Homo-oligomer: A and B are copies of this chain.
Amino acid sequence: MKKKKRIRDYGIIIGNMKTGEKDLITDVKGVKVGHITLDEDKVKTGVTVILPHERNIFKEKVFAANHIINGFGKTIGTIQIEELGTIETPIVLTNTLGVGTACDALIEYMLKTNDDIGKTTGTVNPIICECNDGYLNDIRGRHVKKEHIFEAIGNAQEMFEEGAIGAGTGMSCYQLKGGIGSSSRVLMLDDTKYTVGVLVLTNMGKKEDLIIKGKEVGKRICEIDNEDNLNVGETKESLIIILATDIPLTPRQLKRISKRAIVGSSKTGSFIDNGSGEIVIAFSTGNKVLHYEPNKIVNIKRLNENYINLIFRAVVESTEEAILNSLVTAKATIGRDGNKRNSLKNYIEKLEII
């Protein structure tokens, strides 16, 4: 894996808080990320998987929440997250027309790894998130197959690549090349170090709207491109934000931190377009929820909510940085019908931000 230059490597520092060691969602202990990339000719798509921890996630669920910023999207599995406050499968990201296949594959994977599902216990709630990569990708061709999901799960590890990779292969962000980005922040609570990590799949926004650290660089890029991009037409795109933390947050607290992600994306210029399905899924590894819990009353830990502001900031900062990382690490891509997205890195030296 070649090390790509990330937004910090350009001297652009987002926020005041300290990042985790890798500045990735996998700074949260146990979290792993795997990709499968389908990138040839008009096929520009793939799969990205987030594993909340290294054990059997169905048997040891994690507290979770989701927040729907804009529901023009096809994410699968949110109803049960909302009701029960847990997730019990890996989280799979892919293109919009691949959600059925991904859902079917994830069910198959869960059946394979859990004999009891659908037999001696209930069923399982697969979590599939998506963006529409149809501008670059032959999305109608539905090139994501079940094996790709299995392989992406198999590939999951702590170090992972960002940019035009995995589910991000064909995504566009601010009409530049987008895709996968990540970032993290660490903070101290009662003398213990905790981490908040973010992974984004970026596919939203108009070029002219892009803002980096307050600078309206999107307008400058339009000038460089000699484009007059001022239009507010529909873009059928999306933004997926996955938040992970080891702070023992309850589902309600996870929902509250999820609601702050939008502050981070707003700082990059997004207006939450009508057609942009924007979904946040957050989970905490700070408590276990056992599928076969023997006790009827269980002890858990919970953040004293008077101290949640610092976590809000961690979410805002790392979401903003993750989005910028998705842009600057994504290579320029030519896809179906010759459609093209440039890379932010080709402009960044010319912008006055660095």
Stretch at the interface among A27-35, A70-78, A154-162, A343-351: A70-78
A74 touches B80 (CB 8 A): yes
0/1 interface trace, chain A 301-317, chain B, CB 8 Å (1 if under): 11111111110110010
Q: Which of A295-337 contact B (CB under 8 A)?
A: 295-310, 312-313, 316
Partner of A72, one of B70, B84, B189, B214: B84
| Known contacts A102-B100, A134-B118, A214-B214; A259/B296 CB under 8 A | no
A100 touches B84 (CB 8 A): no
| Known contacts A74-B77, A96-B123; A302/B297 CB under 8 A | yes
Tell me the count of chain A residues lying within 8 A, CB to CB, of chain B. 96
| Known contacts A85-B252, A96-B123, A296-B303; A309/B274 CB under 8 A | yes
Collect the chain B residues with CB atoms within 8 Å of residue A70's CB.
Answer: 83, 256, 259
A296 touches B121 (CB 8 A): no
Q: How many Å from the CB of A113 to the closest CB on chain B?
A: 13
| Known contacts A79-B68, A83-B72, A99-B103; A305/B274 CB under 8 A | yes
B312 touches A274 (CB 8 A): yes
Nearest B residue (CB) for A128: B100
Q: Report the separation of the CA atoms of residues A102 and B101 in the bound assembly, to the nearest whole angstrom.
A: 9
Centre residue among A82, A271, A309, A312 by max chain B CB count within 10 A: A309
B122 touches A234 (CB 8 A): yes
Q: Report the separation of the CA atoms of residues A16 and B266 in the bound assembly, to the nearest whole angstrom.
A: 17
Collect the chain B residues with CB atoms within 8 Å of residue A300's CB.
Answer: 299-302
Q: Report the separation of the CA atoms of residues A316 and B230 in the bound assembly, to the nearest whole angstrom.
A: 16
A171 adjacent to chain B (CB < 8 Å): no
A123 touches B312 (CB 8 A): no
A251 adjacent to chain B (CB < 8 Å): yes
B84 touches A75 (CB 8 A): no
Stretch at the interface among A1-9, A104-112, A172-180: A104-112
What are 12 A-B pairs at a CB distance below 8 A?
A: A71-B82, A78-B78, A97-B118, A214-B215, A232-B310, A266-B266, A267-B267, A274-B305, A274-B306, A274-B308, A298-B303, A299-B300
Which 7 residue pairs are nearest across A and B when measured between Cβ atoms? Answer: A214-B214, A100-B104, A71-B83, A122-B236, A100-B103, A266-B266, A71-B79
